[in-house]
Every structure is written in C-alpha cells, then in structure tokens.
Amino acid sequence: MSVGRPTVLLEHHLKALKLPTILREYAPVAAVCAQERTDYPTYLERLAERELIDRERRAAERRIKAARFPVIKTLDTFDFAAQPSINEPLVRQLVSGEYLDRRENVLLVGNSGTGKTHLATALAFAACAQGRRVRFWTVTGLVTHLLEAREERQLERALKHLQRHELVVLDELGYVPFSKAGAELLFEVVSRAYERTSLIVTTNLPFEAWPEVCGSERLTGAILDRLTHRVHILEANPSYAVRASKPPWRQRHGRLEAEVVTTF
Ligand code: ADP
Ligand code: MG
C-alpha cells in the first residue's frame, strides 16, 4: 500500500479515535480482503471485530491488575482429585458467575494449605474475565487499610471505593485476631456489602471459633448473619464439620440455616 496523504490522515484519525487494533491491522486485512475480493462492509466488519476483541482483552487485563491478586491462579491448575473434599460441581457452577448477579457470597473453610486462596483467586479471576470489578484483600490488609483511612479522615471514601466493586475477596479470616475497632470495621464492610456486593471469604476457622477472633459474640453474630444470608459454602477440609456442627449463631438465627444456598 502506498504511503500517501490518505494513509497519513487515516492513521491520524484512527489514533484520535483510539482504535489501535484497526491502526495496526487495516493494511494487512485490506491485503487479504483484496485477494478474497470481499466487499467494503465485510472489510470494515472484520476490522471492527478485531478492535472489539482486543478492547475486551485490554479491559480484562486492566481489571485483573486493579484486583491486585497476590498470585494469579485459575481453575485449570487446581487439582480436584488432590482435594476430594471440595465440591467440584459447585465450584464449576460458581465460576460461571451467576452468584454475582444474585449478590450471593462464597465462604471457603479449611485448614492452611488446602487451596482456599487458590480457589478464591480462581473465582475472582473468572469474574474479572466476565467484565466485573473485583478487589482482592487479605482481611488483615483491608482492616489495616481502613484503620489508616479513618486516621486520615478518609474512612467513608475508602468504604465507598470498596462498594464500587462487584466482588471483594476477603482472604485469611482468622489468622490474626482483630482489635475491637478492627472487628467493627469488618462488620461495616460486610454490612455494606450485604445484598450489594458479593464477598468471597476464606477462613481456617469453624464458625464456633469466630467470636474469639472478632472479639464478641454479638459482633460475630451480626457479621455471620449478613455474610451467610445467601451463601455458598465450600469446605476444603473434611475434619471441619461445618454442616454437622450447630454453632450458637445458627440456633439463635434459625432462618440462616434455610438460607444457605448450597453447602458441600
Ligand atoms: P490456603 O489458602 O488454603 O492456605 P493455598 O490456596 O494458598 O492454600 O494453597 C497453597 C499452595 O498449594 C498454592 O500454591 C496452591 O496453588 C497450591 N494448591 C493447594 N491445593 C491445590 C490443589 N488441589 N491443586 C493445585 N494446587 C493446589
Ligand atoms: Mg490462603
């Protein structure tokens, strides 16, 4: 193709319109289309399609970066045979992302090293690919961030920012006990997410041990009440009898039991 005035102008327009894929591809696609004797609309359609595909890929990359995963993990590398306690059909159903439309939560319970963070990341990664805004936090990281924001009188802003996500991962609940202020901030996060944002929480603690970490029975009850209102529970460790155990909060809030959407 000759490099004349039209080409220079065309390239200028494509840059101004922010169509980098068409800019890169218009000449080679034109050569192919000329050879195939395709009509102009077909040529244009092929270029538009390439731009659209690239644009979606770039947006997904931006969302993955913004999610701040510590390490990227996907379902492809998760060995279900090595972790038979995990409900594979439920994971496969969750990865489609419909729970996010219904603002449901996911709770991953199990000992250390059983793949909870891997699965939480894989579900959140899939959500990014589906065009959702996602943020990954360790629970302690988030609570520290919010405590700092409060000191700088930016708490409301930080909470609003969190609320703009469709999915927030809260990793590693239970490894570090909270201060009273920290537990109250966690309650604030769970409370604001309630029926607005989906949460994926990973924890090594069975429910009955939560009050110890959260500092009070009352606050734990309030957090669990909202978190488990509509929840999918994945258990990565058979020794944790989540289903069999009857922690006090479940007996007190009888309706919770009925509203667990799926369990292992
Ligand atoms: P947890 O969060 O439960 O402590 P992780 O998800 O961090 O455990 O798992 C520890 C490491 O082992 C990670 O590198 C993770 O990718 C890997 N891992 C754990 N379970 C599996 C599994 N079933 N298949 C593949 N990798 C796994
Ligand atoms: Mg982990």
In this structure, the answer to whether residues 29 and 155 fall within a common structural domain is no
In this structure, the answer to whether residues 138 and 214 fall within a common structural domain is yes
Residue 150 in this model has a pLDDT that exceeds 60: yes
Residue 264 in this model has a pLDDT that exceeds 50: no
Domain span at 58: 4-63
In this structure, the answer to whether residues 201 and 100 fall within a common structural domain is yes
Q: Of all protein residues, whose CA lies closest to atom 1 belonging to ligand 1?
A: 113
> Letter for the amino acid at 128?
C
Residue 123 in this model has a pLDDT that exceeds 60: yes
pLDDT attached to residue 262: 55
- Residue 174 CB less than 6 A away from ligand 1: no
In this structure, the answer to whether residues 137 and 193 fall within a common structural domain is yes
Local confidence band at 237 (pLDDT 50, 70, 90 cut-offs): confident
In this structure, the answer to whether residues 51 and 140 fall within a common structural domain is no
Local confidence band at 11 (pLDDT 50, 70, 90 cut-offs): very high
In this structure, the answer to whether residues 145 and 158 fall within a common structural domain is yes
pLDDT attached to residue 244: 41
- What distance in Å separates the CA atoms of residue 105 and residue 230, rounded to the nearest whole number? 6
In this structure, the answer to whether residues 213 and 180 fall within a common structural domain is yes
Residue 28 in this model has a pLDDT that exceeds 50: yes
Closest ligand 1 atom to residue 114 Cα is 3
Q: Of all protein residues, whose CA lies closest to atom 9 belonging to ligand 1?
A: 115
- What distance in Å separates the CA atoms of residue 68 and residue 33, rounded to the nearest whole number? 42
**% of residues, the chain, pLDDT over 70:** 88
Each residue's pLDDT tens digit, 29-88:
999 999 999 999 999 999 999 999 999 999 999 999 999 999 999 999 999 998 889 999
**Where does a domain end: 19, 43, 63?**
63
Q: Which of 110, 125, 118, 109 is nearest to 80 (CA)?
A: 118
The CA radius of gyration of the chain, in Å to the nearest whole number, is 24
The residue-averaged pLDDT of 81-107 equals 95
In this structure, the answer to whether residues 119 and 148 fall within a common structural domain is yes
The residue-averaged pLDDT of 229-255 equals 59
Q: Which of 111, 124, 129, 248 is nearest to 172 (CA)?
A: 111
Residue 89, domain CATH: 3.40.50.300
pLDDT attached to residue 261: 54
Number of independent structural domains in the chain: 2
In this structure, the answer to whether residues 135 and 253 fall within a common structural domain is yes
Phi, psi of 203 (to 5 degrees): -155, 150
- Residue 7 CB less than 6 A away from ligand 1: no
Q: Report strand pairing: 134-138 vs 167-173.
A: parallel
Listed in sequence order, the residues at least 6 apart from 40 whose beta carbon sits closer than 8 Å to its beta carbon are none
- Mean pLDDT (the chain) is 89
Listed in sequence order, the residues at least 6 apart from 39 whose beta carbon sits closer than 8 Å to its beta carbon are none
Task: Count Cβ atoms below 10 Å from residue 146 Cβ, excluding itself.
Answer: 23
pLDDT attached to residue 215: 86
Q: Of all protein residues, whose CA lies closest to atom 25 belonging to ligand 1?
A: 78
Per-residue tokens: 75: 């379902």
Residue 22 in this model has a pLDDT that exceeds 80: yes
* Cβ–Cβ < 8 Å for 105, 228: yes
pLDDT attached to residue 248: 43
* Type and span of the H or E element at 108: strand 105-109
- What distance in Å separates the CA atoms of residue 254 and residue 64, rounded to the nearest whole number? 39
pLDDT attached to residue 176: 83
pLDDT attached to residue 200: 98
Strand order in the sheet with 167-173: 134-138, 167-173, 198-203, 105-109, 231-235, 260-262
Residue 255 in this model has a pLDDT that exceeds 90: no
Q: Which of 234, 240, 231 is nearest to 258 (CA)?
A: 231
Closest ligand 1 atom to residue 119 Cα is 6
Residue 257 in this model has a pLDDT that exceeds 60: no
- What distance in Å separates the CA atoms of residue 182 and residue 5, rounded to the nearest whole number? 64
In this structure, the answer to whether residues 16 and 123 fall within a common structural domain is no
In this structure, the answer to whether residues 172 and 246 fall within a common structural domain is yes
- What distance in Å separates the CA atoms of residue 247 and residue 252, rounded to the nearest whole number? 9
Residue 128 in this model has a pLDDT that exceeds 60: yes
In this structure, the answer to whether residues 55 and 129 fall within a common structural domain is no
Q: Which of 245, 169, 247, 229 is nearest to 203 (CA)?
A: 169
Burial class (CB in 10 A: 0-12, 13-18, 19+), 3: exposed
- Residue 87 CB less than 6 A away from ligand 1: no
Choice among 51-55, 67-71, 166-170, 216-220 with the minimum mean pLDDT: 216-220
